[in-house]
Amino acid sequence: MNIIELPSINCTWLQDMTDDTGILQHAKSTIADRREGYTTDDNARALLATLRYHELRDGEKNLELVRTYLSFLLYVQKEDGRLHNYIGYDHSFLDKVGSDDSLGRVLWACGYSQDTSIPEDIRIAAKEIFDKSLIWALKSSSPRAKAFAIIGLYHYAKADPEDKNPQQNVIQLADQLCELYRQTYSPTWQWFEPYLTYANPRLSHALLRAYQTTGKRDYLRIAEKTLKFLAANDIVNGIYQPVGNQSWYERGGKKALYDQQPLEASCMVEAASIAFQVTGKKMYSKMARTAFAWFLGKNTNGVMVYNPNTGGTFDGITARGLNQNQGAESGLSYLLARFEMEVLRKNELKSSLR
C-alpha cells in the first residue's frame, strides 16, 4: 500500500468561488473571474461534491451550498429536460443547448442526491431534474454521457430498490458501452474507443456501478479489463501520468505527456477505489493511492498540484510547469478525489479486519 498523508479537507476555496448564483467557472490565479461566467458542468460537480461532503461530515452549513447549486440546475434546465451549459455572469444563456457530458453530470449529481440523508424538499427538486433529463442520456451517442447516467442511476436505484425502471435503464446503457468495447477491442487495445481522450476511467467506473446494480458479471469483466489497460498506459514507474490534453492518444500513436489535468487523476482515484470496494483486490487500492499522490507532488514534474493554502487546485501540469490558475473543474476534481480517499480508507480497514 502506498503510504501518503492525506491533507485535511478544506472547503474555503469552494466557498470563495461560489456566489448567490453558483460556482464560477474560471479563476485568475486564486481570484474568481466573473467575466467567464458559469457552467452547468461545474455546478453539477459542485452539487455532487457538497452532497458527498454532507454525507461525510453531516454539516448543516453545507446545505446552503447544496441549495445554491441545485437552484442553478433548475434555472438552466429547459422545458424538454435538456440543459444549457454556458451561462454568463448576467445570467444569460450562451448556448442553445448544452453538451451531453453536462447533462450526464447533472444526472450523476441528482441521482446521487436520492441516496443521501439530505432533507426531503431538496431531494424532490433533484428528482424532478433527473426524471426530466434522463431520456436525453438514453438517446445520447456519447460514451461519457452514458457513463455519467449509469452512475447516477446506480444511486437512484439504490435509493428505491422497488422501482425496476432504473435497473433496466442501467442495463440499456451498460450494454451499449460493452458493445463499443467489443467493436474496438484487440489484444493490445482493450478499450471502448480507438483513442484515449479525457475522463477515461469514468467508463470503467460506470460498468462497476452497473455490475453492482444488476449483478451481470460481463460488466465487471469489462470494467476490470479496461481499468487495467488504463493503468498500464497511465502509471509509469509508480507515477501517475495521464494522457495530456495537447493531443489525444490514438491507437498506434504516441501519448501526449502534457498538459496533465486534475480531472484525470480524480477519475482514476474514484474508479480504482470503487474497483477495490467491489473486488477486494489490493492492486486497485494501490492504483487509487498512486493517482491521488499525483495531486501531492508524485508526478512527472514533482510539483504540488493541490494548494493547501487555499484549498484550491492548480489547473494542471504543463511542459513549463504549473498552470497557476485555480478554476472550478480543477478544485472540484481534487475535492471529489479527496472525499473518495475517505471511502477508500474505510474499505481498506474493513478488508484488513476480515
Domain of residue 53: give its range.
37-132
Whole-Å CA distances, 209 to 139, 193, 241: 20, 20, 25
Which helix (DSSP H) or strand (DSSP E) does residue 290 occupy? helix 282-293
Is 87 inside any structural domain? yes
Residue with cell 497557476: 324
For residue 223, tell me if it sits in a domain: no
- For residue 290, being part of any structural domain is answered with no
Q: Tell me the pLDDT of the chain (354 aa) as tens digits.
A: 456 789 999 999 999 999 999 999 999 999 999 999 999 999 999 999 999 999 988 656 689 999 999 999 999 999 999 999 999 999 999 999 999 999 999 999 999 999 999 999 999 999 999 999 999 999 999 999 999 999 999 999 999 999 999 999 999 999 999 999 999 999 999 999 999 999 999 999 999 999 999 999 999 999 999 999 999 999 999 999 999 999 999 999 999 999 999 999 999 999 999 999 999 999 999 999 999 999 999 999 999 999 999 999 999 999 999 999 999 999 999 999 999 999 999 999 998 887
- Which own/partner pairs from 57-62 qualify as long-range (CB within 8 Å, at least 24 positions apart)? 57/9, 58/117, 62/11
Q: Is residue 305 a part of any domain in this protein? A: no
- Asked whether residue 46 is assigned to any structural domain, the reply reads yes
Q: Residue 97 domain-assigned? A: yes
Residue 341 has φ and ψ, to the nearest 5°, of: -65, -30
- Are the C-beta atoms of 88 and 94 separated by less than 8 Å? yes
CA angle 163, 199, 287 (to 5 degrees): 95
| CA-CA-CA-CA torsion sign (142, 148, 150, 156) | negative
Does residue 8 belong to any structural domain of this protein?
no
Structural domain includes residue 316:
no
Number of structural domains found in the chain:
1
Nearest-angstrom CA–CA distance, 65 and 256 = 37
